[in-house]
């Protein structure tokens, strides 16, 4: 059995996230349908994470095992033939038997895009948060810096029915940047909680509005209470940018 790592990219505007659901179209469902057409089987796919509805991925990683001997380059090309235009396979590599797209992951980087202009751009519909009010990047970066390091992110995790886990995460990058009317927040960490990035962005927008000070981020982290943080920013501005692995020793198989 070969263990394969595929890096894919998708526009999530039409999908209810990655993971298969009973009554909604997801990226995993569409991908598995294409995979069956190519391999004639439906392998057990391991995903690096599960993105929410309408969230996008510049890079999303999956792994699966198969006895089929089709070369990686041909497999990627065949999948792209059957996949819709909003999903694409970027690469396919053979990895060691013990590799797992989720459990071998060492970290991820997300970006959140805000179109900071008084007039919306129709060509960015579903791919940015339209925000017409002034954004002071110096103030936003002062707030973002408080997320760096290891913290308990309970205040920045949506409450749901999922099993409670260790809520501590180590953030290695937290920075805002502007390019024209596009303002982008970049954040990298060893892991992320449910809605974590979107709540961080929503809370920092409260700082931009003058309803919180940058130093309030420290207080909110210490509170370990979701009610203390700001609102959850809309999904359409969020992109999974990069998935980090080490010691994969992959080859083109």
Q: Which of 52, 121, 225, 247 is catalytic?
A: 52
For the record, the structure tokens of 40 come out as 């004639």
Contact at 8 Å (CB) between 101 and 61? yes
Would you report the helix, strand and coil content of the chain in percent, each value rounded to 5? 30, 30, 45
Radius of gyration of the chain measured on its C-alpha atoms? 19
Q: CA dist 40 to 31, 146, 233, Å?
A: 13, 50, 40
Rounded CA-CA distance 219/42 in Å is: 48
- Strand locations in 125-228 (E): 129-130, 149-152, 168-179, 182-189
Q: CA dist 171 to 110, 243, 250, Å?
A: 11, 14, 27
What angle do helix axes 27-39 and 72-82 make, rounded to 10 degrees? 120
152 as an active site residue: the answer is no
For the record, the structure tokens of 117 come out as 């202009």
End-to-end CA, the chain: 12
**Which residues are identified as catalytic?**
52
């Amino acid at each position: 059995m070969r263990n394969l790592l595929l890096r894919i990219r998708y526009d999530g505007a039409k999908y209810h996230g990655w993971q298969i659901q009973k009554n909604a179209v997801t990226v995993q469902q569409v991908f598995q349908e294409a995979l069956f057409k190519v391999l004639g089987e439906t392998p057990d796919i391991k995903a690096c994470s599960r993105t929410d509805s309408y969230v996008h991925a510049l890079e999303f990683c999956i792994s699966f095992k198969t006895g089929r001997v089709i070369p990686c380059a041909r497999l990627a090309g065949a999948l792209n033939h059957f996949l819709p235009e909003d999903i694409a396979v970027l690469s396919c590599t053979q990895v060691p038997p013990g590799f797992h797209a989720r459990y071998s992951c060492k970290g991820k980087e997300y970006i959140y895009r805000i179109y900071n202009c008084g007039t919306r751009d129709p060509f960015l519909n579903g791919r940015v948060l339209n925000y017409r009010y002034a954004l002071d990047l110096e103030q936003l970066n002062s707030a973002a810096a408080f997320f760096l390091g290891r913290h308990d992110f309970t205040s920045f995790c949506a409450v749901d029915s999922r099993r409670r886990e260790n809520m501590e995460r180590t953030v290695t990058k937290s920075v805002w940047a502007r390019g024209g009317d596009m303002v982008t927040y970049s954040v990298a960490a060893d892991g992320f909680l449910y809605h974590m990035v979107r709540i961080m962005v929503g809370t920092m927008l409260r700082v931009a509005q003058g309803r919180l000070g940058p130093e309030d981020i420290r207080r909110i982290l210490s509170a370990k209470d979701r009610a203390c943080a700001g609102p959850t920013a809309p999904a359409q501005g969020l992109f999974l940018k990069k998935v980090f692995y080490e010691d994969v020793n992959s080859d083109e198989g």
